[in-house]
Amino acid sequence: MPLLFIEADNCTEDAALIAAKFDKYARSFKRMEKDTDGIDKPLWRTRWR
């Protein structure tokens, strides 16, 4: 499923800083972790005990 993500800023950061955040977000969404059932899943899709 495609992911829609919006970075909102009130003119407090320069464009270069905001653009650099997209790489960090992409790495974060690719992180894998074992879920409670022991299967590797994307970290943002895991369930915590």
pLDDT tens for residues 6-39?
777 778 888 888 888 888 888 888 889 888 888 8
Per-residue pLDDT at 15:
84
Asked whether residue 5 carries a pLDDT value surpassing 70, the answer given is: no
Ordered by start, the domain boundaries in the chain are: 15-45
State how far the Cα of 40 lies from the Cα of 32, in Å rounded to an integer: 6
Contact present, 31 and 42 (Cβ < 8 Å) = yes
Asked whether residue 49 carries a pLDDT value surpassing 60, the answer given is: no
- Identify the CA nearest to 44 among candidates 2, 36, 33, 23: 33
Per-residue pLDDT at 11:
80
| Rg, the chain, Cα only | 15
pTM above 0.85, yes or no: no
